[in-house]
Amino acid sequence: MSRESLFLGVGTALIGLVGLLRQQWLLAETPKGRMLVESMGLARARLFHGVLCLGLLVFGALLAAGFLAPWRW
């Protein structure tokens, strides 16, 4: 496991965690969140946003743990 994958994984997992914790605010106060609620409805927007943030959290954890590796150019 490299420092690079640890840094990217922890950062990605934190973004997913903050997204989950601040879901109501993100959907109500940001332009993209309001667009999502208008197009899908509140219940489906919450589900979509929750799955997306949970996916980021899991992806970041796997990246930080060394199960996944970042792309190298």
6-57: pLDDT as tens digits: 999 999 999 999 999 999 999 999 999 999 999 999 999 999 999 999 999 9
Mean pLDDT of 65-73: 80
Query: Buried (b) or exposed (e) across 32-50, using 16+ Cβ within 10 A?
Result: ebeebbeeeeeeebbeebe
pLDDT of residue 66: 87
* Residue 55: how many other CB atoms lie within 10 Å: 11
pTM: 0.86
Compute CA distances 62 → 20, 29, 42, whole Å: 18, 30, 30
Residue 6 backbone phi and psi in degrees, to 5: -65, -45
